[in-house]
């Protein structure tokens, strides 16, 4: 980003960027950075808070008047990650006692997922491997993976298994947004999914089974975020 900014500046175009990792911003020495001590993935701070996000953008664009580059300014407010605290989302009751608990749980979350999908005007992060209609089958395949540590038996390869895990996480986190009574703090839905749901339990078990079976680390390690390992 710093290199591109300098290229644009040399062509007479003013640039400004948002930083979430201050050390990197300092090392890059881009012409103008507003450092925001916010959780990764939330460069504008609080989701759904238009006034706060507008303030971030105004502070950033105000740096365009600065010629004493490189400039690295700090946003005055700090927002904590709060990943250690799971969001509070009430899971649905069992629908089919004959189904695997994780499969049944995912099916029960479909109405919540649909509500969030409508609220987001159809935007969703689900779809790397399957759409929402395929989530139940995807959970079943992860159950197979957790029980066998066999990618072929579960219908995965090294690339698709990671993408499939991202689909499951996205489906649950989007459903969780509809179930929570407020916008959760950063990564609270992540912790809820991996630590408090049956499907999250299955994904964790699949990662552990692959590790125990001696499968390449790049396959099993990236099924979970770093702070959800162990």
Tell me the pLDDT tens digit for each residue of 172-215. 999 999 998 777 766 788 889 999 999 999 999 999 999 999 99
* Cα distance between residue 70 and residue 75, in whole Å: 16
Both 118 and 57 in one domain: the answer is: no
Q: Residue 183 domain-assigned?
A: yes
Q: Residue 117 domain-assigned?
A: yes
Q: Residue 86 domain-assigned?
A: no
| pLDDT score at 166 | 96
Q: Residue 94 domain-assigned?
A: no
Q: Which residue has the higher pLDDT, 148 or 229?
A: 148
Average pLDDT estimate for 70-88: 78
Element (H, E) at 5: helix 2-10
pLDDT-above-90 percentage for the chain: 61
pTM exceeds cut of 0.85 = no
Both 70 and 107 in one domain: the answer is: no
| pLDDT score at 73 | 93
Structural domain containing residue 27: 2-74
Both 36 and 116 in one domain: the answer is: no
For 202, counting Cβ atoms within 10 Å of its Cβ (0-12 exposed, 13-18 middle, 19+ buried), the class is buried
* Residue 190 CB coordination number (10 Å): 23
Q: Residue 58 domain-assigned?
A: yes
| pLDDT score at 87 | 63
Total domain count, the chain: 2
Both 33 and 147 in one domain: the answer is: no
């Amino acid at each position: 980003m710093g290199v591109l900014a300098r290229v644009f500046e040399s062509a007479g175009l003013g640039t400004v960027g948002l930083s979430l990792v201050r050390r990197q911003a300092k090392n890059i020495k881009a012409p103008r950075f507003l450092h925001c001590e916010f959780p990764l993935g939330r460069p504008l701070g609080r989701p759904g808070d238009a006034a706060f996000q507008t303030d971030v953008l105004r502070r950033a664009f105000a740096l365009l008047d600065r010629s004493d580059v490189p400039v690295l300014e700090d946003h005055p407010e700090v927002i904590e990650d709060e990943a250690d605290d799971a969001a509070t989302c009430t899971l649905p009751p069992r629908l089919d006692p004959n189904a695997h608990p994780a499969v049944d749980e995912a099916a029960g979350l479909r109405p919540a997922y649909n509500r969030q999908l409508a609220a987001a005007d159809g935007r969703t992060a689900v779809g790397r491997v399957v759409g929402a209609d395929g989530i139940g089958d995807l959970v079943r395949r992860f159950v197979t993976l957790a029980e066998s540590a066999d990618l072929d038996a579960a219908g995965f390869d090294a690339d698709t298994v990671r993408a499939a895990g991202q689909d499951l996480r996205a489906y649950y986190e989007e459903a969780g947004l509809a179930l929570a009574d407020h916008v959760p703090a950063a990564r609270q839905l992540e912790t809820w999914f991996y630590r408090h749901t049956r499907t999250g339990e299955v994904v964790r078990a699949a990662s552990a089974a692959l590790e125990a079976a001696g499968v390449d680390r790049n396959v099993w390690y990236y099924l979970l975020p770093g702070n959800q390992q162990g």
